Chain A
Amino acid sequence: MSAPELHQMGVAELAAAIRHKKTSSVEAAQHLLARAKQHADLGAYLAFNEDLTLAQAKAADARVAAGEHGPLLGVPLAHKDIFVTQGFPTTAGSKMLEGYQSPFDATVVNQLAQAGSVTLGKLNCDEFAMGSGNDNSAYAPVHNPWDTARVPGGSSGGSAAAVAARLVPAATGTDTGGSIRQPASFTGITGIKPTYGRCSRYGMVAFASSLDQAGPMARSAVDCATLLTAMAGPDIDRDSTSLDHPAEDYTRLLGQSREGASAAQPLKGLRIGLPKEFFGAGCAPDVLAAVRAALSEYEKLGATLVDISLPRTELSIPVYYIIAPAEASSNLSRFDGVKFGHRAAKYDDLTDMYKKSRSEGFGPEAQRRIMIGTYVLSHGYYDAYYLKAQQIRRLIAQDFQQAFNLCDVIAGPVAPTVAWKIGEKSDDPVANYLADIYTLSTSLAGLPGMSVPAGFGAANMPVGLQLVGNYFKEGELLQTAHAFQQATDWHLKTPEGY
């Protein structure tokens, strides 16, 4: 097998090649490790452990030799540095955890490993998953392979860049307010955030507990479905918010037609709701154009477009940016220099040690969110901010339920613009927050959401189409995306030079 072809393969192809002994897991891992080094300037990776990677690959090859089958067996993957891993340090993109060695693996990592995947390394991300440009990493920023002067999106920027640049066939990401969907949109790859509680949060460095979810990022809906099947499932023993919903095979719905549909019109009967709030003046015309063109394709595939309204879309910004920082401010209190993490070299006393260690360890965005969170929970402000936000949150979730009476899937842009230039938005945190408008409400409601490559916009940068489903409808979302990907080829486009 000639080397250049290995990184061109997605998960399904690579798994098949390994199974049919056209290549081996070791060969694939070595090839991708070399490629990662070759493109180190993208800033996608934070850590490697070559010995461990190759040991895992050897073990996978042994399983193949023993006659074992599996859609992920021997397939190299990489993990967002929010997932703790034994053998690879975990930093969560922060100086606070520089060199931290976790004594256990995240459940999601474990499940993927049991399915036979091989870990190539840890991927860069915004610090503690806070950010939309991966320019909040304490380590180098990540570059978008479509235009290295631009951000790949965040917070799963490293995962998106690595998959888009074909350094890895798929990666894990996390999404709290859009952190899988938005970088997938910015880098022209496919990503899905499942229903809240679908994947275990055990081993995910916590940012906002009622919003965080793990999900796959890959170059097709098929590959996402394969990964999600291994990642999802109840974690009764370790995560009290993990839903007791049986594991599903998400690949089963792919390629199957809906009831009453035909091969030519696989999405006949599918009602796609278009929230008018997502298609207004706030969205850049180039993005809207690409999204509308993609929606026409959906119509050709048999879907019906329906106008709907999600009236509290704009409110999702203050609501999210109250709830997430509040939870984060508490989750980040464990970083105190006592048991693990950064401790200042010089301090006068205990209180000084706390203050110096935390101020040195946390970057500006993390500190900002800790301040917001601490304030909104503090005495006298809880009712007006946190409680109020959680009440509006319920109204937002109810709006979605109303909308799902009129449609099966909701669609629209992922972000109001294509990826911006690195450094363009750093000074104005509030402007950054406003750009999350289309993804936040999905997270607040805990619904599953996807980004599917849908075309290109300004500066020839990728544009993603967002698909949102009702609770536990990940399978249907993937089916819908897959039908689109069989009729179009946006998801097959690769940035030049990669």
Chain B
Amino acid sequence: MSDKKQASLLVQGYEVVIGFETHAQLATQSKIFSRAPTAFGAEPNTQACAVDLALPGTLPVMNRGAVEHAIRLGLALGSHIAEQSVFARKNYFYPDLPKGYQISQFEIPVVQGGEVSFFLGDEKKTVHLVRAHLEEDAGKSLHEEFHGMSGIDLNRAGTPLLEIVTEPDMRSSAEAVAYAKELHKTVTWIGICDGNMQEGSFRCDANVSVRKPGAPLGTRREIKNLNSFKFMQQAIDYEVRWQIEQIEDGHAIQQATVLFDPDTGETRAMRTKEDAADYRYFPDPDLPPLVIARDWVEQVKANMPELPRQMAERLVQTYGLPEYDATTVTQSPAMAAYFETAAKASGQPKMASNWIMGEVSRRLNNEEKDIAKVPVSADTLAALLKRIADGTVSNNAAKQVMDALWAGEGKDVDAVIEAKGLKQMNDSGALEKIIDEVMAANAPMVEQFRAGKDKAFNALVGLVMKASKGKANPQQANDLLKQKLQ
């Protein structure tokens, strides 16, 4: 990163350092160590079997599906998949932790290293991973009160998680959010996580610290349970400003765990958990080491869908798309398929990606729809793109056609163009006539242009387009007007 760019990221002269720990719930049928179902939303404690409740005499038995999901993640992120990894007990007391310990992985995790690349604006970023390990989720404590008591639901206890840990590579809240979005895309793309953040399937903890450039790392505070991208950025920004204020006031930053309050927009320290650091990790004697043979990894690899990054590279190679476009259209398998169909059918890949990133995405976002629910098929879009390419309609007119198609006013592109009379004027004679009329009616503006005021040209083009009721071919209008103004 250039010094200038680095400097531009500084907040009040401080460098922001961010690392993420993400807990992704794995989309398996059963829990990681028991055969209870993992479906969301069941009645309390109806999906917590004896093993999940830690009834005396119960023991864990490992879910093959969870391991396979971990292998998939490792492959997707270019990580090393450990041939042998160990489960360890993390000991602490909490009502949502039935055994009084969480089965996790400590010294030897199943996935080691790896990286996540994404675009921040038009700059390519890579965040390095330290590790990803398998562990079990805890239950839930309900906010609703029962005569001063809390209610504990252990349905979620034992749901498999992958905890994905990054190096402190990120330097801004925007970068952190972009990373989180890319990771979210990856885990949903490869089918290991449903990505439903409202249901808690994808939870991020942000480790945030600040320092003067060149200084050693500052003390970090951990913002827990960020489960919305919007709040993620807000929370980190607030925390950064808070830390800087503390330091400027002469206070040292104490390591703490904090929660973000979306109502106030502030982070505040949780009640300190005494002895929080002493989890007394030791290898779980109930679980022998997890061995993953090379051929299992090869098998999983062979069955993996094309990964977003690979696909993006292919689109760059095959269609000459800019990296940014390729990355954006590969945000989900559905969107990527939509793009490829439209690109192939229209023969206009760049135009296709422009339209998908622009008009299509905008409408989907407004209606909070996913590409799976898009009302205009890729083939229909391709047909429209062809009509732009062959000059039948201008880009602007095409937007009006899209409006009609989107609203369900018709399925056939040509029919809609016809019905709405949006065919572009390609008759240069008629166009010249309009240009002459406009120039005549706007003599002062013409003078201004000839006197050197370039802006007047755009104004004249605008008037020509208006006079043609948008039907003029903008390029043609441009060229002709230029000619006449000489």
Tell me, rounded to whole Å, the shortest Cβ–Cβ distance linking A231 to chain B. Answer: 15
Most buried by A among B56, B62, B99, B282: B56
Does B61 lie within 8 Å of A240, measured CB to CB? Answer: yes
B429: interface (CB < 8 Å): no
Which of B101, B280, B284, B286 is close to A378, meaning CB atoms less than 8 Å apart? B280
Tally of A-B residue pairs with Cβ under 8 A?
A: 101
Which of B56, B98, B99 is close to A100, meaning CB atoms less than 8 Å apart? B56
B42: interface (CB < 8 Å): no
Q: In the docked arrangement, what's the CA distance between A208 and B284, Å? A: 11
- A128's nearest neighbour on chain B, judged by CB, is B56
Question: From residue 320 to 351 of chain A, which have CB atoms closer than 8 A to chain B?
Answer: 326-327, 330, 332-336, 338-340, 350
Chain B residues near A386 (CB, 8 Å)? 282
Does A210 lie within 8 Å of B100, measured CB to CB? Answer: no
Chain A residues near B93 (CB, 8 Å)? 333, 336, 354
Q: In the docked arrangement, what's the CA distance between A240 and B281, Å? A: 20
Question: From residue 147 to 200 of chain B, which have CB atoms closer than 8 A to chain A?
Answer: 152, 154
Most buried by A among B53, B54, B99, B278: B54
Known: A241-B288, A339-B98. A377 touches B282 (CB 8 A): yes
Does A240 lie within 8 Å of B62, measured CB to CB? Answer: yes
Does A206 lie within 8 Å of B57, measured CB to CB? Answer: yes
Contact with A along B78-112 (1 / 0, CB 8 A): 00000000000101010100111100000000000
Does B56 lie within 8 Å of A237, measured CB to CB? Answer: no
Chain A residues near B53 (CB, 8 Å)? 339-340
- B53's nearest neighbour on chain A, judged by CB, is A339
B59: interface (CB < 8 Å): yes
Does B56 lie within 8 Å of A102, measured CB to CB? Answer: yes
Contact with B along A411-448 (1 / 0, CB 8 A): 00000000000000000000000000000000000000
Tell me, rounded to whole Å, the shortest Cβ–Cβ distance linking A97 to chain B. Answer: 7
Q: In the docked arrangement, what's the CA distance between A208 and B354, Å? A: 64
Q: In the docked arrangement, what's the CA distance between A105 and B277, Å? A: 38
Tell me, rounded to whole Å, the shortest Cβ–Cβ distance linking A54 to chain B. Answer: 26
Chain B residues near A90 (CB, 8 Å)? 56
Chain A residues near B278 (CB, 8 Å)? 378-379
B58: interface (CB < 8 Å): yes
Q: In the docked arrangement, what's the CA distance between A114 and B230, Å? A: 59
A204: interface (CB < 8 Å): yes
Tell me, rounded to whole Å, the shortest Cβ–Cβ distance linking A243 to chain B. Answer: 10
B50: interface (CB < 8 Å): yes
Q: In the docked arrangement, what's the CA distance between A354 and B99, Å? A: 13
Chain B residues near A378 (CB, 8 Å)? 278, 280
Q: In the docked arrangement, what's the CA distance between A83 and B57, Å? A: 8
A279: interface (CB < 8 Å): no
Chain B residues near A210 (CB, 8 Å)? 285
B485: interface (CB < 8 Å): no
- A333's nearest neighbour on chain B, judged by CB, is B100
Does A330 lie within 8 Å of B91, measured CB to CB? Answer: yes
Chain A residues near B287 (CB, 8 Å)? 240-241
Q: In the docked arrangement, what's the CA distance between A326 and B56, Å? A: 18
- A354's nearest neighbour on chain B, judged by CB, is B93
Does A205 lie within 8 Å of B282, measured CB to CB? Answer: no
Does A334 lie within 8 Å of B100, measured CB to CB? Answer: yes
A interface secondary structure, majority: loop
B55: interface (CB < 8 Å): yes
B218: interface (CB < 8 Å): no
A84: interface (CB < 8 Å): yes
Chain B residues near A335 (CB, 8 Å)? 100
Does A239 lie within 8 Å of B59, measured CB to CB? Answer: yes
Tell me, rounded to whole Å, the shortest Cβ–Cβ distance linking B306 to chain A. Answer: 36
Tell me, rounded to whole Å, the shortest Cβ–Cβ distance linking A105 to chain B. Answer: 9
Known: A240-B287, A330-B89, A330-B282. A336 touches B100 (CB 8 A): yes
Q: In the docked arrangement, what's the CA distance between A201 and B56, Å? A: 11
Chain B residues near A237 (CB, 8 Å)? 61
Tell me, rounded to whole Å, the shortest Cβ–Cβ distance linking A198 to chain B. Answer: 15
Which of B57, B59, B95, B288 is close to A338, meaning CB atoms less than 8 Å apart? B95
Does A374 lie within 8 Å of B280, measured CB to CB? Answer: yes
Known: A333-B101, A338-B95, A377-B91. A102 touches B55 (CB 8 A): yes
B60: interface (CB < 8 Å): yes
A238: interface (CB < 8 Å): yes
Known: A204-B57, A339-B98. A104 touches B50 (CB 8 A): yes
B interface secondary structure, majority: loop
Tell me, rounded to whole Å, the shortest Cβ–Cβ distance linking B54 to chain A. Answer: 4
Chain A residues near B152 (CB, 8 Å)? 338
Does A326 lie within 8 Å of B282, measured CB to CB? Answer: yes
Does B282 lie within 8 Å of A103, measured CB to CB? Answer: no
A490: interface (CB < 8 Å): no
Chain A residues near B54 (CB, 8 Å)? 334, 339
Question: From residue 26 to 85 of chain A, which have CB atoms closer than 8 A to chain B?
Answer: 83-84
A92: interface (CB < 8 Å): yes
Chain B residues near A203 (CB, 8 Å)? 57
Does A241 lie within 8 Å of B56, measured CB to CB? Answer: no
Chain A residues near B62 (CB, 8 Å)? 240
Which of A103, A354, A377 is close to B55, meaning CB atoms less than 8 Å apart? A103
- A337's nearest neighbour on chain B, judged by CB, is B95
Q: In the docked arrangement, what's the CA distance between A239 and B61, Å? A: 7
A256: interface (CB < 8 Å): no
- A339's nearest neighbour on chain B, judged by CB, is B53
A8: interface (CB < 8 Å): no
Known: A240-B288, A241-B288, A378-B280. A334 touches B57 (CB 8 A): no
Chain A residues near B284 (CB, 8 Å)? 209
Tell me, rounded to whole Å, the shortest Cβ–Cβ distance linking B85 to chain A. Answer: 15
Contact with B along A204-237 (1 / 0, CB 8 A): 1110111000000000000000000000000001
Chain A residues near B98 (CB, 8 Å)? 334, 338-339
Question: From residue 333 to 383 of chain A, which have CB atoms closer than 8 A to chain B?
Answer: 333-336, 338-340, 350, 354, 374, 377-379, 382
Chain A residues near B288 (CB, 8 Å)? 240-241
Does A209 lie within 8 Å of B285, measured CB to CB? Answer: yes
Tell me, rounded to whole Å, the shortest Cβ–Cβ distance linking B446 to chain A. Answer: 82
Q: In the docked arrangement, what's the CA distance between A103 and B49, Å? A: 10
Q: In the docked arrangement, what's the CA distance between A457 and B61, Å? A: 47
Does A240 lie within 8 Å of B91, measured CB to CB? Answer: no
Q: In the docked arrangement, what's the CA distance between A334 and B89, Å? A: 13
Q: In the docked arrangement, what's the CA distance between A206 and B51, Å? A: 13
A308: interface (CB < 8 Å): no
Tell me, rounded to whole Å, the shortest Cβ–Cβ distance linking A381 to chain B. Answer: 9
Q: In the docked arrangement, what's the CA distance between A378 and B279, Å? A: 8
Chain B residues near A382 (CB, 8 Å)? 280-282
Chain A residues near B95 (CB, 8 Å)? 336, 338, 350
- B152's nearest neighbour on chain A, judged by CB, is A338
Chain A residues near B57 (CB, 8 Å)? 83-84, 102, 104, 106, 201-206
Most buried by B among A83, A333, A340: A333
- Given A92-B56, A209-B285, A336-B95, 12 new contacts (CB under 8 A): A83-B57, A84-B56, A103-B50, A104-B57, A201-B57, A202-B58, A209-B284, A238-B59, A330-B91, A330-B100, A333-B101, A382-B282
| 20 A–B contacts from the bound complex (CB under 8 Å) | A84-B55, A103-B50, A202-B58, A203-B57, A205-B56, A206-B59, A240-B59, A241-B59, A241-B285, A241-B286, A330-B100, A332-B100, A334-B99, A335-B100, A339-B54, A340-B53, A340-B56, A374-B280, A377-B281, A378-B280
